Amino acid sequence: MHRAGLLVLAVVLGACRVSSRQAPASASLTPMFGPVIGAEVIGGRADANDEIVLLAGGVDLVRINLAARRSVRVRLRTVAGQQGGRDDCWNLAGFADGSLWTLKGRQTLARISTDGAVVSETPLGEPYFGLFAAGDRLLFQRADFLPPGPALLAGGADRRPAAAWSTIATRTFPALARAAVAALNMVTCGSTETVERACWFPDEPAVFLVTDDGSTRRVLLPGLDAVPPETLLTSDNPRRPVRDAYVDAAGTLWILSSGMPPPGAAEQPGGWLLASYASDGASRGIARLPEAARLILRADTRNVTLVTASGGVGQVPRW
């Protein structure tokens, strides 16, 4: 009898243990604060000390402090911006020393401060599509109209693009025009709390996990649908297998994926699926969100914090 009781207890505890690791079919999203951002495109994200900095609409910085549950928006004070025009910026790269960088236009690397001031500008001499940070190096995405070739270049000591970083290579699409191919070869890199960061192409249900020194491995993401390039290119709000990726301190990979909106939901930018994977790509479950989300701000031992489609910050319990 005693043994049977222990067996029942073990089964129950085992079931609890398993259920705590399973993704809920539908995740609950608890609002925290906000809205912190409007409908403008989030063109970049960087972690700066206690704050997460977003580039909003190419012209504003939004500094989010999760601990204090508040955000501050400042205008980037570029020369054109101060003269009534606008200098659109794209991407943010932040370093541990607090420095923050962006691409101004296509051909200028700008160092900026979190209060929006432009500290310095460096002409790059040729166009680039993207800018990220890895370790203490800047990463540049070449404007590549003639693939295949290295997708990302690491900056040298002078911060200018110098050498290929990682083995991510741009892809050929023989049936598509040059400009469409260039667009499909644009890479995004997500945030990380480990030595590996996730980078991805817009059409693939897969990420490249790349260390600071450029070592690269490709991880397929089961359960997420690939999107044919033609479909991706023909939509105004394309469904993307990977909208954002975040590697948490335990090495768990969190993916925000477009999924399908519920029937009757308004068409809006954002992902309806939050997926979790082990670092080898083994699925730990995919949960549907009650509201579309645009960005993964953080994933800690208890929650995954998101920017929602309505611009607020909310938390989903991790599984």
Phi/psi of residue 234, each to 5°?
A: -95, -5
Give the x-and-dash track for 7-26 against another protein (CB under 8 A).
Answer: --------------------
Q: 193-197 long-range CB contacts below 8 Å, 24 or more apart?
A: 193/247, 193/248, 193/249, 194/247, 194/248, 194/249, 194/251, 196/247, 196/251, 196/279, 197/132, 197/134, 197/247
Q: Is 175 in the site for another protein (CB under 8 A)?
A: yes
Q: Is 261 in the site for another protein (CB under 8 A)?
A: no
Residue 12 CB partners (closer than 8 Å, separation 6+): none
Segment 58-97, which members bind another protein (CB under 8 A)? 88, 90
How many whole angstroms separate alpha carbon 306 and alpha carbon 293?
6
* Pairing label, strands 313-317, 303-308: antiparallel
Reported as half-sphere exposure (CB side, CA atoms, 13 A), residue 98 has a value of 6
Minimum separation from the CB atom of position 184 to another protein (A): 8
Q: Is 248 in the site for another protein (CB under 8 A)?
A: no
Strand order in the sheet with 161-164: 128-134, 137-142, 152-155, 161-164
The residue among 120 and 237 lying less far from another protein, judged by its C-beta, is: 237
Q: Is 233 in the site for another protein (CB under 8 A)?
A: yes
Q: Is 183 in the site for another protein (CB under 8 A)?
A: yes
Out of 38, 125, 127, 149, the residue judged to bind another protein by CB under 8 A: 127
Q: Is 202 in the site for another protein (CB under 8 A)?
A: yes
Out of 36, 43, 62, 205, the residue judged to bind another protein by CB under 8 A: 43
How many whole angstroms separate alpha carbon 246 and alpha carbon 252?
8
Interface region with another protein, contact rule CB under 8 A, candidates 20-28, 92-100, 229-237, 274-282? 229-237
Q: Is 104 in the site for another protein (CB under 8 A)?
A: no
Residues of the shown chain interacting with another protein in the complex, contacts defined by CB under 8 A = 41-43, 45, 88, 90, 106, 127, 129-130, 143, 145, 175-180, 182-184, 186-188, 202, 230, 232-238, 240, 243-244, 269, 294-295
